[in-house]
Chains A and B, each alone.
Chain A
Amino acid sequence: TQLLEQSPQFLSIQEGENLTVYCNSSSVFSSLQWYRQEPGEGPVLLVTVVTGGEVKKLKRLTFQFGDARKDSSLHITAAQPGDTGLYLCAGLNTGTASKLTFGTGTRLQVTL
């Protein structure tokens, strides 16, 4: 079974601070996705990274895929209360294309 460990598990910060969430695995994935989930809703895809070393930016969010395609990070600059939510990474393999392996999740709270 492939496992994806996220750290930290919980993060409470003030508006304007920067933060980084990590997603680590001993397995190689063909691509890595990040989702955000609001309370009472399903996860919503933020980004997919495919190439080892790839960096993608989505406004104040920066996503990086590790060179070996085993890990990823999400960096948020100048966090805002609207960034509050559960962040999930998920690994996808072409061999089992219908299966996503989800990470354990990072719950972020941004306060004023």
Chain B
Amino acid sequence: NAGVTQTPKFQVLKTGQSMTLQCAQDMNHEYMSWYRQDPGMGLRLIHYSVGAGITDQGEVPNGYNVSRSTTEDFPLRLLSAAPSQTSVYFCASRLAGGREQFFGPGTRLTVL
């Protein structure tokens, strides 16, 4: 199993550009989540999904969109990037009845 994979590893955007961060898992996990990690603030939940076709907002959803068309994939879209979105982004997944979250390796995004 590859676990949770994320692409790209690094990305630099200009203000106003759009992009999609990809996340995939091969563990058949129902729950998937996106977090952003900023210095001194831990990880903050952006959006999450409890299954294909179902998504909901987390703590810091503004400026981000998600969709969940399959169990395996959970892409995160930035429609118009802003410097405040410079961060490291982590995707995670877990079983519906489980407590352990499995994290991907992260995407480091810089918005100029």
For chain B, the count of residues having a C-beta within 8 Å of the partner chain is 24
Q: Which of A45, A48, A88 contacts B42 (CB 8 A)?
A: A88
> What's the Cα separation between A33 and B103 when bound, in Å?
14
Q: Mark A28-53, 1 if CB is under 8 A from B, else 0.
A: 00010100000011111100100000
**B105 & A31 in contact (Cβ 8 Å cutoff):** no
Closest to A92 in B: B99
* Complex contact A99–B43 (CB within 8 A): no
B-side interface mostly: strand
Cα(A104)–Cα(B92), bound, Å: 18
Instruction: Report which residue of A40, A43, A48, A105 has the largest number of chain B beta carbons within 10 angstroms of its beta carbon.
Output: A43
Smallest CB gap from B48: residue in A? A98
Question: Cα distance A4–B41 when bound, in Å?
Answer: 10
User: Is B44 a contact of A31 with CB atoms below 8 Å?
Assistant: no
Is B61 in contact with chain A by the CB < 8 A criterion? no
Q: Which residues of B contact A (CB under 8 A)?
A: 4, 31, 33, 35, 40-45, 48, 50, 56, 58-59, 90, 92, 99-101, 103-106
The 4 closest A-B pairs by CB, nearest first: A42-B103, A102-B42, A102-B43, A104-B42
Q: Interface of A with B (CB < 8 Å)?
A: 1, 4, 6, 9, 31, 33, 40-45, 48, 88, 90, 92, 98-100, 102-105
